[in-house]
Amino acid sequence: MIGMEYYIIIGVISLFSWLVSNTLKRKFKKYSKIQLRNGMSGAEVAQKMLADHGIFDVKVVSTPGSLTDHYNPQNKTVNLSESVYNQRNAASAAVAAHEVGHAVQHAKAYKWLTMRSQLVPMVNVSSKFSQYLVMGGLLLGAASSLGYWVLLAGVVLMGMATLFSFITLPVEYDASNRALAWLKNKNIVSREEFEGSKDALKWAARTYLVAALGSLAMLAYWVLRLMASRD
């Protein structure tokens, strides 16, 4: 049912994902040792960046876990993991400023963030059902009429998820660019601290790039399978 190509793609994606993830963890560990000369915690960095952008309706809160940092546009909260919230180093400053970058995007109605937010409900559905539909199409036999349409539905939902992953890229890169520009222009970090923050955010962005390319590879595989079933 599933060709060897599928497992090769899965293997390659998993390998690159593991390499980038491990590198990211090493980078954050390294830059967590560079203490900020101004002594600001991640929470304080986030609060100052919000204030400097005239944003006073967003709260900065601590959330459990590691690398669980995110901005929630629904309740307007910058959620920082406990270590980022409390620690006073280059890595914490980078992450805190990046998440506030999303809050700034929200406040300015950044088009890519708006587009991504609009796709969230559909992506939630596609992530739950696309694999089931694809496998269902294979079980029914993609060459049959019913099997073909079930497989097609799964591929379409998978395409929505792939589109979402690529729309996420400019959102993440732009948030990092906003963060780094503010850290530098406001002299929040020294030159050494800035380089550490920049490198950490670069590797964080690469996790999204690998995810997007992996999603595209899987989509391409199933599209080719779908086309082959009609021959």
Q: For residue 200, which of 224, 225, 183 has the smallest C-alpha distance?
A: 183
Radius of gyration of the chain from its Cα atoms, rounded to whole angstroms = 21
Three-class DSSP category at 35: strand
Residue type at 98 in one-letter notation? H
pLDDT level of residue 109 (50, 70, 90 thresholds): very high
**How does residue 128 score in pLDDT terms, banded at 50, 70 and 90?**
confident
- Average pLDDT rounded to a whole number, residues 101-110: 97
| Nearest Cα residue to 46 out of 89, 83, 93 | 93
What is the CB neighbour count within 10 angstroms for residue 142?
21
Amino acid at 230: R
Residue of 44, 99, 172, 193 marked active site: 99
pLDDT of residue 142 exceeding 90: no
Average pLDDT for the chain = 92
Q: Which one-letter DSSP state was computed for residue 71?
A: E
| pLDDT exceeds cutoff 70 at 33 | yes
| 229 pLDDT above the threshold of 80 | no
* 168-196 pLDDT per residue, tens: 999 999 999 999 999 999 999 999 999 99
- Amino acid at site 186: K
**How many C-beta neighbours within 10 Å does residue 175 have?**
25
pLDDT interval class at 148 (50, 70, 90): confident
- Mean of the pLDDT values across residues 138-162? 86
**Domain map of the chain by residue range?**
4-229
Note the pLDDT of residue 140. 83
Residue 112 phi, psi dihedral angles, 5° rounding: -70, -35
Q: Could you tell me the pLDDT band of residue 163, with boundaries at 50, 70 and 90?
A: very high
pLDDT at 165 over 90: yes
Give pLDDT tens digits for 39-96: 999 999 999 999 999 999 999 999 999 889 999 999 999 999 999 999 999 999 999 9
Compute the distance between CA of residue 90 and CA of residue 54 in angstroms, rounded to an integer: 24
Query: Does 192 participate in catalysis according to the annotation?
Result: no
